[in-house]
Structures are given as C-alpha cells and as structure tokens.
Amino acid sequence: LYGDLKMQVPFPFSLLCLQVIKCKAAVLWEANKPFSIEEVEVAPPKEHEVRVKIVATGICRSDDHVITGALVMPFPIILGHEAAGVVESVGQGVTAVKPGDKVVPLFVPQCGECQNCLNTKGNLCSKTDLGTSGGLMADGTTRFTCKGKAIHHFLGTSTFTEYTVLHESAVAKIDSAAPLEKVCLIGCGFSTGYGAALQTAKVEPGSTCAVFGLGGVGLSVIIGCKVAGASRIIAVDINSDKFAKAKELGATDCINPKDFNKPIHEVLTEMTGGGVDYSFEVIGRTDTMTAALACCQYNYGVSVIVGVPPAAQKITFDPMLLLTGRSWKGSVFGGWKSKDAVPKLVADYMKKKFVLDPLITHTLPFTKINEGFDLLRTGK
C-alpha cells in the first residue's frame, strides 16, 4: 500500500497521527491579574518543531515582570521559561530529539547558524524572542488557542502549560536519569547565575566578590564564585532572612544595606580595602547596578549585570567609574551556548559537582501557581 501511495504523500505516515492536545495551562489574559487555569488546545508541531510534556517548571522574576508590565509582552500569553519535560512528538525534519527524550526548553536557543552562535564569544542566538515582544513561533503564528482565541508564546518556551511547542533549536536533550523536578532550574535560574560567575566574569581563585540580590539566581552566582575558588564572597540583600541560605552555599559575609548610614558601595569598598574584584547585580534595579559598579576595584574590577531591568528605565552614572579601568558587562543565560552547555551542566549535576536542592524553597501543584507568585513577591 505504501509503495502505491508514497509518490502522493510528501511526508511520513507517522506524522498523520499528530493531533491537537487539550490540556491545562495558566493563561495570563491581562497585566496585573492572576493566572487563570484554562483548558487550551496545543497544535501539533510543524516542521522543525517539538511538542513537549512539561513535568516541572520554576517561577522566575522575569515572568513576574510581564505580569506587572515591567517587561512588555502581548496578551493573552502563557508565561514560563524554566522547565524540564519529555518529548511527546516531533515535526518533520527534527533530528536532534525523538519522542520519549528528556529535555530542557531553552529561552535562549542555539540555531548554530547566526553570527552570535558562530562566534565563540557570543551566546545570544538571533532566533531568541528576548527583547522582540513577538510572542509567536518562527512562522508568525501561535500553537496555543483558548476559548477560540490565539494565545501568545513567551520567549519561545511557554512552560506554564502541560504541553508546549518549541523550535528544535530551543530544546536540549539531557541525561535520561536526570530528575526533572531538580534540573528544570538549569533552564534559567541556576545556569544564569552560575554562568555569570564562571563564564561572563571568569572569577579567579583567591578573588573577592560581591553579590547583590539573594534570590535563586543570586544564590547560583554564589555557587559559581565558590566553585571558581573565590576567597571572599559578600552577599548583599535587604532581606536578612536570606543570609542563612547564602552562607550555606558559600557566602563568607552577609550585609544588609539598611544597617548602614552610608551608601552600600562605600561600605563594600571599606570592607575590602579598595573594592571587590567582581560584583554581580542580580536584582534588576538601576540604583543597585550603579552601586555594584562603584564597589568594584577602581582599576581592574569587573561588574556584571544579571538582573533584568524594567522596560523604559534609563541609567545615569559617573563616567569616571569606567575611565579608571573598571569593566561593566551584561550576562544573558550566564553566557552559555545553551544547546551545548545544558546537557553538560545536567551531567555535572549528576556527578554532584554542584547542588540544586537548596535553591528549591517550595514545591507546589501546578494549579497553585498564583500562590507560588505570592511567595516570590513576599521574598519567600
């Protein structure tokens, strides 16, 4: 039968069984409103696309930025970008993964063809949806519908749903033995912080570091600084409840700016006898970005911006801070080339080269996603 028909059918028969999947998703219909758990339709993957069953997803401040309007995206939308799951089906031409493979979605894809992917210094693939506010797949359409309305994608991932569709360049196959409820953090928070220290700043043994912000990403920076051999890691946060976890993961000092009558950069400069070698801003505030720059050693200090700043905010600083020799850098996804790095980071986790468990404060059922965001906003 196939012999008789194959000239008329331009694709394998297996693709004919791909169906629309109905599942639960957390839809954000408009800004500053709670998520609504809805039944959505998830279309089959098109050419070079992959449909993934999401097993675990993390809550990130960047998702909350969309809710508050600080990060402008089109509505309605399915947020989420830090996750792990299992491939359910693949579209025509997909060769990197197959149904049943464990994967981590990549909000920074790796196409392997653009200028940034081809350059050893770059990792921000031009195919990323970061900064474009597009909310659509490469062909300009969406794979999600709800109540007859098209629902936008977020950063090419959209993981706040039981099933999602991604381009194959935005999926990394990982160790089949990896615990998805742990390694989902490698999809964003952990890799971003850990890489900011190891890849972007290239922290050296014996160096001094300051980390502004002790959320999951800031704690991951501390892990990276410790792995790199930093001799002093100063953790900075206005929430002193976070100090115990920071010390557990490698911070040598913890300071609360509220405890001082002088600017925090002056406190850090005095503490270190002239400024730290490396500083990291992991909050997303322009005032702490300039403070992190100012607390660096004036001639050779390096400061890395990791936190996502609110849209339309501008930064003002004294150019002498840079003229004397300091370096100011930005870091997206820790500087890692995602598709290459994520499987290796998962392998390192499996070899116990770093821990992830302390970064997980709560585990909630998917339907309690709004409670999860309340915990995020209250610093818990």
Same domain, 124 and 217: no
Q: Are 271 and 263 in contact (CB under 8 A)?
A: no
81 assigned to active site: yes
pLDDT in tens, 86-133: 999 999 999 999 999 999 999 999 999 999 999 999 999 998 877 666
pLDDT at 17: 58
**146 assigned to active site:** no
Q: Does one domain contain both 94 and 223?
A: no
Q: Are residues 41 and 172 in the same domain?
A: yes
Predicted TM-score (pTM) of this structure: 0.92
Q: Which of 117, 125, 184, 188 is catalytic?
A: 188
Question: Does the annotation mark 152 as catalytic?
Answer: no
Indicate whether 115 and 248 sit together in one domain. no
**Residues of the chain where predicted confidence (pLDDT) is lower than 50:** 1-16
CATH code assigned at 279: 3.40.50.720
Does any domain span residue 351? yes
What CATH number corresponds to the domain at position 178?
Answer: 3.90.180.10
Same domain, 236 and 362: no
Per-residue model confidence (pLDDT) at position 309: 81
Residues 131 and 182 occupy one common structural domain: yes
Do 215 and 175 share a domain, yes or no?
no
Same-domain pairing of 346 and 325: no
pLDDT value for 4? 37
pLDDT at 3: 38
Cα 61 to Cα 106, 215, 336, 375, distances in angstroms: 17, 9, 20, 11
Confirm whether 209 is a catalytic residue.
Answer: no
What residue numbers bound the domain in which 172 lies? 21-189+336-378
111-123 burial, b if ≥16 CB within 10 A, otherwise e?
Answer: beebebbeeeeeb
The pLDDT assigned to 133 comes to 66
Same domain? For 161 and 221 the reply is: no
In the residue annotation, 60 being an active-site residue is answered as yes
As given in the structure block, the two tokens for residue 175 are 């160790």
Of 60, 125, 254, 295, which one is the catalytic site residue? 60
Q: Which of 65, 152, 153, 167 is catalytic?
A: 65
